[in-house]
Structure 1
Amino acid sequence: TSNIILISDFSTKDTGQDTNISARITDELTKSLKDRKMIVQKAKSNNLDKRLNEAKSQGARFLVEGNYYRDPNLTNLNLYLQIYDPETRLLVDAFSINDDIYKLEDLKLDRAELKANDEERIKNFAEKSAIHIVSNPQKKEKRENLEQYALKTPEGEKFRPYTRSDDKASEEAADQVFDLLKGQIITSATKTAKKTNEAPNIVSVVTDKEIQDYGRISINDVLYQLPGFAPSQSNDKRSVGARGMYEGWNNNHLLVLVDGVQFNDLFYGTALTWPTTPLNMVKSIEVIRGPGSALYGSNATNGVVSLNTYSGEDLNGEIRVRARVGNQGTKIYDFLTGNKGKLFSHVLSYNSYETDGVEEPQYDNSGREDAFGFLQKFKVKDRQKNHYILAKIEGEGDLKGLSFQYHRQYWNYQTYNGWFQIIPDNPGTQQEGRDTFVAKYSNNITSKLIQEYVFKYSKSFWDYSSRFITNGDPDFPAGVSENLYTSIDNLFGRAQFTYLFTGGASLVGGVEAGKTNYLGDKFHSSNIDMNKTGTDSANPNNMFLPVNPVMDWITDKPIYNIAAFAQATSGKLWNRIEFTLGIRYDEANMHFRGIDIPHKDILGTPTVDIYNPDLNTSYTYSIPGSSLGPPYVTNEKKVYRKTSPRIGIVYFVSNRLTFKAMAGRAFRAPAPGELFGVNTYIGGAVDPRKLSPEVIKTGELGMDWFITNNLNFRLNGFQTRFENVISYGENNGVENIYTQGTKGVETELLAKFKYVNGFINYSRFFRYLDSNLDSRVTKHPNEITVAPGNTINAGISGNWNAWQSSISVQRQGRVSRRLSDLGKVDPLTGHLLDNKYSDPYTYPMYRTKRIAPWYNVTFRLVYSITENFQLGFNVLNALNNTQIIVTRGRGPFDYLREGRRILIDFQGTF
Structure 2
Amino acid sequence: MRAIRSPGQKAFAACLISACAGAVVAQTSEEDDLALAYGGKSAISIATGSMQSVARAPAVATVITAQDIQATGATDLDQVLESVPGLHVSVSSLGYQPIYSFRGIFTNYNPQVLMLVNGLPITNVYLGNRSLVWGGMPLENVARIEIIRGPGSALYGADAYAGVINVITKTAEDINGTEVGVRAGSFNTRDAWMQHGGKLGPLDAAFYLRVGKTDGQRGIIQRDSQSAIDQAFGTSASLAPGPVSVGRDTLDARADLAYDNWRFRAGYQEREVGVGAGLAESLDPKARVPETRLYLDLTYRNARWSPNWDVSGVVNYYDVKEKQADPAFLLFPPGAFGGAFPNGVIGNPGHSERHAHIGFSALYSGFDWHRIRFGAGFREDNLYAAPETKNYTIVTVPGVGPVFTPLGTIVDATGNPSLVYLQPHKRHLAYAFAQDEWSLAKDWTLTAGVRHDNYSDFGGTTNPRLALVWDAAYNVVLKAMHGRAFRAPSFAEQYNINNPVSIGNPNLTPETIVTNELAASWQPTPGLQTNLSLFRYRMQDVIRFMPNADPSSGSTAQNTPGQTGRGVELEASWDAHRNLRLSGNLSLQRSTDDATGQDAGLAPRRRLYLHADWRLAPMWQFGVTANHVADRKRQPGDTRAPIADYTTVDLSLRREKLAGNWEVRAMVTNLFNRDAREPSFAPGNIPFDLPLPGRAFYVQLQNRF
Q: TM-score with structure 2 length normalisation?
A: 0.85
Deviation at 1:473, TM superposition (A): 2.4
1:816 paired with 2:633, answer yes
- Listed as ranges, the matches of 1:330-729 within 5 Å are 330-341=189-200, 343-362=202-221, 363-367=223-227, 368=230, 376-395=240-259, 400-424=260-284, 427-443=286-302, 444-463=304-323, 464=325, 465-474=328-337, 476-478=340-342, 479-501=344-366, 505-521=370-386, 523-529=387-393, 537-548=404-415, 558-571=426-439, 573-590=440-457, 639-679=458-498, 686-729=503-546
3-state DSSP of counterpart to 1:211:
helix
Cα gap change, 1:380 to 1:374, in 2 (>3 Å): closer
- The 8 Å contact of residues 532 and 678 in structure 1, kept in 2 or not, is answered as no
Residues in 2 aligned to 1:736 and 1:233: alpha-carbon distance in whole angstroms = 25
Deviation at 1:851, TM superposition (A): 1.8
Pick aligned residue for 1:260 from 110, 113, 119: 119
More strand by share: 2
Residues in 1 aligned to 2:77 and 2:369: alpha-carbon distance in whole angstroms = 32
Deviations 1:840-877 (A, max 9, x none): xxxxxxxxx11222111111001121451111211111
> What residue in structure 2 maps to residue 794 of structure 1?
610
Pick aligned residue for 1:855 from 647, 669, 673: 647
- The 8 Å contact of residues 411 and 431 in structure 1, kept in 2 or not, is answered as yes
- The 8 Å contact of residues 414 and 420 in structure 2, kept in 1 or not, is answered as no
Deviation at 1:554, TM superposition (A): 8.6
**2:478 partner letter:** F
Deviations 1:89-134 (A, max 9, x none): xxxxxxxxxxxxxxxxxxxxxxxxxxxxxxxxxxxxxxxxxxxxxx
3-state DSSP of counterpart to 1:440:
strand
> What residue in structure 2 maps to residue 868 of structure 1?
661
Cα gap change, 1:540 to 1:239, in 2 (>3 Å): closer
Residues in 2 aligned to 1:504 and 1:281: alpha-carbon distance in whole angstroms = 39
> What residue in structure 2 maps to residue 906 of structure 1?
701
Pick aligned residue for 1:743 from 566, 571, 578: 566
- The 8 Å contact of residues 220 and 691 in structure 2, kept in 1 or not, is answered as no
3-state DSSP of counterpart to 1:474:
helix
1:284 paired with 2:284, answer no
- The 8 Å contact of residues 114 and 164 in structure 2, kept in 1 or not, is answered as yes
- Larger RCO: 1 or 2 (CA < 8 Å, sep 6+): 2
Q: Which 10-residue stretch deviates more, 852-861 or 577-586?
A: 852-861
Cα gap change, 1:695 to 1:516, in 2 (>3 Å): same
Cα gap change, 1:407 to 1:183, in 2 (>3 Å): closer
- The 8 Å contact of residues 810 and 856 in structure 1, kept in 2 or not, is answered as yes
3-state DSSP of counterpart to 1:313:
helix
Deviations 1:330-367 (A, max 9, x none): 22222211113562111111223322223133221212
Deviation at 1:672, TM superposition (A): 2.6
Deviations 1:499-527 (A, max 9, x none): 12465731110001111222224x42110
Cα gap change, 1:371 to 1:429, in 2 (>3 Å): closer
Q: CA RMSD in A?
A: 3.0
- The 8 Å contact of residues 649 and 661 in structure 1, kept in 2 or not, is answered as yes
- The 8 Å contact of residues 239 and 333 in structure 2, kept in 1 or not, is answered as no
Q: Which 10-residue stretch deviates more, 733-742 or 487-496?
A: 733-742
Deviation at 1:549, TM superposition (A): 6.0
Residues in 2 aligned to 1:654 and 1:890: alpha-carbon distance in whole angstroms = 52
- The 8 Å contact of residues 266 and 460 in structure 1, kept in 2 or not, is answered as no
Residues in 1 aligned to 2:237 and 2:320: alpha-carbon distance in whole angstroms = 45
1:890 paired with 2:683, answer yes
Residues in 2 aligned to 1:254 and 1:408: alpha-carbon distance in whole angstroms = 22
3-state DSSP of counterpart to 2:456:
strand
Pick aligned residue for 2:594 from 767, 771, 776: 771
1:196 paired with 2:19, answer no
In structure 1, list runs of 5 or more residues that go unmatched: 1-137, 140-175, 591-638, 773-778, 823-837, 839-848
Residues in 2 aligned to 1:785 and 1:687: alpha-carbon distance in whole angstroms = 25
Residues in 2 aligned to 1:485 and 1:691: alpha-carbon distance in whole angstroms = 24
Residues in 2 aligned to 1:376 and 1:439: alpha-carbon distance in whole angstroms = 49
Deviation at 1:755, TM superposition (A): 3.2
- The 8 Å contact of residues 126 and 492 in structure 2, kept in 1 or not, is answered as yes
Deviation at 1:642, TM superposition (A): 0.7
- Listed as ranges, the matches of 1:67-466 within 5 Å are 184-235=42-93, 236-248=96-108, 250-271=109-130, 276-316=136-176, 318-341=177-200, 343-362=202-221, 363-367=223-227, 368=230, 376-395=240-259, 400-424=260-284, 427-443=286-302, 444-463=304-323, 464=325, 465-466=328-329
- The 8 Å contact of residues 421 and 498 in structure 2, kept in 1 or not, is answered as no
Cα gap change, 1:413 to 1:656, in 2 (>3 Å): same
Residues in 2 aligned to 1:390 and 1:729: alpha-carbon distance in whole angstroms = 42
- Listed as ranges, the matches of 1:23-34 within 5 Å are none
- Listed as ranges, the matches of 1:19-58 within 5 Å are none
**2:203 partner letter:** F
> What residue in structure 1 maps to residue 579 of structure 2?
755
**1:897 partner letter:** L
Residues in 2 aligned to 1:525 and 1:327: alpha-carbon distance in whole angstroms = 36
> What residue in structure 2 maps to residue 68 of structure 1?
none
Deviations 1:651-695 (A, max 9, x none): 1112311000000100000123332233469x76x2422322111
- The 8 Å contact of residues 875 and 902 in structure 1, kept in 2 or not, is answered as yes
Cα gap change, 1:504 to 1:706, in 2 (>3 Å): farther
3-state DSSP of counterpart to 1:813:
strand
3-state DSSP of counterpart to 1:544:
strand
Deviations 1:850-907 (A, max 9, x none): 1222111111001121451111211111111111111121332201101111001111
Cα gap change, 1:866 to 1:267, in 2 (>3 Å): farther
In structure 2, list runs of 5 or more residues that go unmatched: 1-29, 548-553
Cα gap change, 1:585 to 1:372, in 2 (>3 Å): closer
Deviation at 1:484, TM superposition (A): 3.3
More helix by share: 1
Q: TM-score with structure 1 length normalisation?
A: 0.67
Q: What percent of counterpart residues are identical?
A: 23
Deviation at 1:376, TM superposition (A): 4.9
